[in-house]
């Protein structure tokens, strides 16, 4: 693979003690072009602007998909990846839904590992920090015809990140807008899903909430996700989460948390969860915990859920709560502190 190194590293000018999510980027990026039915020009180049024409397809028709994953360093300074092939699988699922080309394992893994080797100093050696990895694909043909693009660009950029306390999480159960619909693109990590979610989220934030809880588009009766994370509840001693469908994004964190819970002997249910059930569980004191799960923040406890004029306060998570236990266990595997009986981590 062709590697062109930067002549000026930003490393010394990056404040690793004050990282704000997604704002600083490592020195290099991976890029590849799809043309004439094949991927070409795989290379690593200095991170920086790319030049595109105003007629570039993605600006007009939104064929854009992405992934979110992390690289960690263990105590010995070895680089660990967490389930990268699951991200690739999902990227290809997204690609198919958006009528974009898929990427084979060799291209994805060689681009990813070479980039991490070149920028290994950007992966913080700390239990609280990691390198967020953003692979993405855009349509880059230069024509404004409403047909799928004939050429594409795949890139990987990375950003050092820290886990930080974001304050209380107060969610509103959304009953007007929908993030995704049956038969739509909700299961794909499509940029357009996010674009459609910004306005409803902003309206909720204007009313003092941090995020919305998305419900099904048809009747707003069943719970789907919490903002950009999957959602889980502890009702009595059972961990319940919405069953995957084409309007829910199948999170790798969700899948991992469920597997760890089962292994710990916790009863797990993947099924439809109605808003009514949550309200009732709150009223009869069986709703013990609620949290969001996703790569960016791992596991985030929910403090309050508002449904119409009912405020459901959820108790602070104690050290032996499911949330704390599952988060600690997952992070231990990701940082290589505990034996990975699931075979999820990949050492570079």
Ligand X SMILES: *Cc1c(COP(=O)(O)O)cnc(C)c1O
Binding site for ligand X (CB under 6 A): 68, 189, 225, 228-230, 249, 251-254, 294-295
In the complex, the smallest distance separating the C-beta of residue 147 from ligand X, rounded to whole angstroms, is 27
Q: Both tokens of residue 59?
A: 């600006």
We find the least distance from the C-beta atom of residue 303 to ligand X, in angstroms, to be 19
Output the smallest distance, CB 97 to ligand X, in A: 13
- Kindly tell me which of 190 and 235 has the beta carbon lying closer to ligand X: 190
Tally the C-alpha atoms within 13 A of residue 203's C-alpha that lie toward its C-beta.
12
Classify residue 90 as exposed, middle or buried by CB count within 10 Å of its CB (0-12, 13-18, 19+): buried
Measured CA angle at 346 (ends 343, 348), to 5 deg: 160
Q: Phi and psi of 131, rounded to 5°?
A: -110, 115
312 beta partners:
305
Distance CA 329, CA 341 (A): 12
Q: Which is nearer to ligand X, 28 or 254 (CB)?
A: 254
Residue showing tokens 């791992």: 298
Phi, psi of 223 (to 5 degrees): -80, 135
Residue nearer to ligand X on the CB measure, 3 or 199: 199
Name the minimum Å distance from CB 65 to ligand X: 10
Residue number with CB closer to ligand X (93 or 274): 93
- Minimum CB distance to ligand X, residue 136 (Å): 12
Smallest separation (angstroms) from ligand X to the CB of 31: 22
Token output for 236 = 């009595």
Contacts of 294 (CB under 8 A, 6+ apart): 68, 228, 229, 230, 251, 253, 254, 300
- Give me the least distance between CB of 37 and ligand X, in Å please: 29
Coil, helix or strand for 109? helix
In the bound state with ligand X, the residue whose beta carbon lies nearer, of 101 and 251, is 251
Residue with Cβ nearer ligand X (44 or 88): 88
Give the count of beta carbons closer than 10 Å to the beta carbon of residue 78: 12
- The first and second tokens of residue 100, run together, are 């974009």
* Complex with ligand X: residue 223 or 229, whichever CB lies closer: 229
């Amino acid at each position: 693979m062709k590697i062109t190194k930067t002549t000026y590293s930003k490393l010394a000018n990056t404040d690793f003690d004050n990282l704000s999510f997604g704002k600083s980027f490592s020195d290099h990026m991976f890029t590849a072009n799809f043309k004439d039915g094949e991927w070409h020009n795989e290379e690593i180049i200095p991170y920086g602007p790319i030049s595109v024409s105003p007629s570039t397809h993605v600006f007009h028709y939104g064929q854009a998909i992405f992934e979110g994953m992390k690289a960690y360093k263990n105590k010995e300074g070895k680089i660990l990846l967490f389930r990268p092939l699951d991200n690739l699988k999902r990227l290809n699922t997204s690609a198919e839904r958006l009528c974009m080309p898929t990427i084979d394992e060799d291209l994805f893994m060689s681009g990813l590992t070479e980039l991490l080797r070149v920028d290994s100093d950007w992966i913080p050696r700390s239990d609280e920090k990691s390198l967020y990895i953003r692979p993405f694909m855009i349509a880059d043909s230069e024509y404004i015809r409403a047909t799928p693009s004939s050429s594409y660009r795949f890139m990987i950029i990375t950003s050092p990140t820290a886990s930080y306390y974001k304050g209380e999480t107060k969610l509103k159960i959304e009953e007007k807008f929908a993030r995704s619909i049956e038969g739509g693109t909700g299961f794909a990590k499509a940029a357009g899903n996010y674009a459609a979610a910004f306005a409803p989220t902003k309206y909720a934030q204007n009313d003092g909430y941090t995020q919305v809880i998305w419900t099904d588009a048809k009747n707003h009766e069943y719970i789907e996700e919490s903002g950009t994370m999957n959602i889980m509840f502890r009702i009595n001693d059972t961990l319940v989460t919405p069953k995957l469908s084409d309007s829910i994004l199948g999170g790798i964190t969700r899948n991992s948390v469920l597997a760890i819970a089962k292994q710990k002997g916790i009863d797990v249910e993947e099924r439809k969860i109605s808003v009514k059930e949550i309200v009732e569980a709150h009223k009869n004191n069986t709703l013990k915990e609620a949290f969001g799960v996703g790569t960016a923040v791992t596991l985030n406890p929910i403090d309050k859920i508002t449904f119409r004029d009912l405020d459901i306060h959820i108790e602070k998570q104690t050290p032996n709560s499911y949330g704390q236990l599952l988060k600690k266990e997952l992070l231990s595997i990701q940082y290589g502190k505990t034996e990975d009986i699931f075979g999820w981590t990949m050492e570079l």
